[in-house]
Amino acid sequence: MKRFWLIVAAVMFGVLLLPVRTPAPLVYQPGEGWTYESPGGAKWQRARAKEQLQVAQEAFAAGKHRLAAKAARRVVARWPLSDYAPGAQYLIGRCYEYRHRDARAFKEYQKLIERYPKYERFDEVLLHQFEIANRFLAGQWFKLWGFIPFFPSMEKTADMYAKIVRNGPYSRIAPQAQLNLGVAREKQKDYFLAVKAYEKAADQYADQKAFAAEALYRAGRAWYMQAKTAEYDQSAAGNAIATFTDFIILYPNDPRVPRLRTLISSLRTEQARGAYEIARYYEKKHKLDGARVYYNEVIRRAADSEYAAAAKERLAALNRATAAAAAARP
């Protein structure tokens, strides 16, 4: 029995010593990470940056986007300071975009802008980022681990637009990117941040009349939406009125002016209603001085409203009651 096992061990040892070609599908290289290699070696690798980028470009043109990204990534990793590195980094972003991995593509474009800010196709890179952000603004889902559709995120979308504006604050697309940032915040129902985004657009691009007008209008509308939340926000209503009034003064011929006048009237009526309810509360608590203050506030805010008429009646009744009480004193 021992002799049998000695023979088996000898055979196995001999097999292990035989020269057998085995494929190594995963290969790690410093600066490049793990990559897949088909049996026969890395035929896509080159010794010079220019030739390596050419491999990436040819693969991209042939629709082999994974290979193109791998070859381009090697250029950036091996020759980061070469003249070919920016073009390779741009190609990486394009490969991910073609593979519908937009969030990763945006990040690769961002790397390009941060590492190579003088890249000759800078404006084109910004445009790609803008188009990606627009797709997410329209409802495209972000992907978990880059593959599994997970959820739309206006927070991430707003962050994309903020980066675009920081990357090129005076680029051709920056004004619209800043406006779209506000739209993303509105979709979050974060009207305060939406107002901030719109106000920045109005201030920063005041020399572009169409964008400045649109931004100011949207800022007022965001304040209006905040005012119409479940708990009526009196301060937001006041800000909406002020913003709409500024719009009417600055752009009196804008076709939206009549609509804004109607909104201002409704906001003032709502403010009057709120003040009237406060006045009634003070009156019920027999705090007549406070009641008078708020009844007068109703009249000041919306003199032609039903609440103003009611406030005048209550003021008259309070005055009669006060006079009667004074006359009854010994």
Cβ–Cβ under 8 Å, residues 185 and 193: yes
In a domain, 284, yes or no: yes
In a domain, 320, yes or no: yes
Nearest to 291 by CA among 315, 316, 310, 271: 315
Buried b (16+ CB within 10 A) or exposed e, 223-247: bbbbbbeeeebeebbbbbbebbeeb
Cβ–Cβ under 8 Å, residues 161 and 134: no
Nearest to 101 by CA among 92, 113, 114, 111: 92
Nearest to 91 by CA among 103, 78, 111: 111
DSSP 141: P
Distance CA 56, CA 226 (A): 51
| pLDDT, position 3 | 55
**Residue 305 is part of which domain span?**
277-330
Cβ–Cβ under 8 Å, residues 75 and 88: yes
In a domain, 52, yes or no: no
**How many domains is the chain partitioned into structurally?**
1
In a domain, 302, yes or no: yes
User: pLDDT tens for residues 24-68?
Assistant: 455 555 444 455 554 434 689 999 999 999 999 999 999 999 999
In a domain, 285, yes or no: yes
In a domain, 308, yes or no: yes
| pLDDT, position 40 | 39
pLDDT in tens, the chain (330 residues): 555 445 545 545 554 444 444 444 555 554 444 555 544 346 899 999 999 999 999 999 999 999 999 999 999 999 999 999 999 999 999 999 999 999 999 999 999 999 999 999 999 999 999 999 999 999 998 877 766 777 889 999 999 999 999 999 999 999 999 999 999 999 999 999 999 999 999 999 999 999 999 999 999 999 999 988 756 667 888 899 999 999 999 999 999 999 999 999 988 888 888 888 888 888 888 888 888 888 888 888 878 788 888 888 888 888 887 777 777 776
pTM more than 0.85: no
| pLDDT, position 7 | 53
| pLDDT, position 316 | 87
In a domain, 295, yes or no: yes
| pLDDT, position 24 | 44
- Other beta carbons within 10 angstroms of residue 208's beta carbon come to 13
In a domain, 114, yes or no: no
